[in-house]
């Protein structure tokens, strides 16, 4: 099962399949009012460090954990840009667990454990398959996360 192609960006416009085709994608469920929110800074650094090599960082706002992403799309965009200078792709808000789990997270999680909290990370290879999963507490500068990205990038 490949990455769903009907993804929408934070402003509701379709994400072009070309944006992630043949790329290594790091999907992260994000939130603006979480103790882990400073990880946005590290995600920006990953995007800068590996973007030219084929990494695409994609943030997926989620309000399922302690209602820590209650904002509107404009509020989320303004917060992430102003506070962390985020310019990587942010998708529309999605549920990552439960009966309303989005098709993207149905694909990412598969038969695995539910997402534990905000800032869970999935590395998807150029072939569209999940190659690694990291728990929320794993910071973006973690050596194992970077190694998984580098291996996927080839």
Residues involved in catalysis: 34
3 pLDDT band, cuts 50/70/90, is confident
- Does 47 fall in a domain? yes
- Widest CA span in the chain: 38
Paired sense of beta strands 130-134 and 89-90, if any = unpaired
Residue 107: which CATH number?
Answer: 3.40.30.10
Structurally, the chain folds into a number of domains equal to 1
Considering the domain boundaries, does residue 2 fall inside one?
no
Give the residue numbers spanning the domain of 39: 17-153
**Average pLDDT rounded to a whole number, residues 53-57:** 98
In a domain, 146, yes or no: yes
- Residue 9 inside a domain? The answer is no
Residue 2 three-state SS: coil
Residue 60 lies in a domain: yes
Q: Is residue 12 part of a domain?
A: no
Over the stretch 66-82, which tens digit does the pLDDT of each residue have? 999 999 999 999 999 99
Domain-located, residue 84: yes
Domain membership of residue 8 (yes or no) is no
User: Could you report the per-residue pLDDT of 96-134, keeping only the tens digit for each?
Assistant: 999 999 999 999 999 999 999 999 999 999 999 999 999
pLDDT for 11: 94
pLDDT at 43: 98
Distance, CA of 27 to CA of 30 (rounded, Å): 9
The pLDDT assigned to 55 comes to: 98
Work out the average pLDDT over 139-145: 98
Q: Which residue has the tokens 């194992």?
A: 144
Interaxial angle between packed helices 39-50 and 73-84, expressed in degrees from 0 to 180 and rounded to the nearest 10: 80
pLDDT at res. 1: 59
Rounded CA-CA distance 16/68 in Å is: 28
Rounded to two decimals, what is the model's pTM?
A: 0.97
């Amino acid at each position: 099962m490949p990455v769903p192609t009907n993804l929408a960006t934070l402003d509701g416009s379709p994400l072009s399949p070309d944006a992630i085709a043949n790329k290594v994608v790091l999907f992260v469920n994000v939130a603006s009012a979480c103790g882990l929110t400073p990880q946005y800074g590290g995600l920006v650094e990953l995007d800068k460090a590996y973007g030219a090599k084929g990494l695409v960082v994609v943030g997926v706002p989620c309000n399922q954990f302690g209602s820590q992403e209650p904002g509107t799309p404009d509020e989320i965009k303004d917060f992430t840009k102003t506070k962390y200078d985020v310019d990587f792709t942010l998708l529309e808000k999605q549920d990552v667990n439960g009966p309303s789990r989005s098709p993207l997270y149905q694909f990412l999680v598969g038969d695995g454990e539910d997402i534990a909290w905000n800032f869970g990370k999935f590395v998807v290879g150029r072939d569209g398959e999940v190659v690694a999963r990291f728990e929320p507490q794993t910071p973006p500068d973690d050596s194992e996360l970077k190694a998984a990205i580098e291996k996927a990038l080839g």
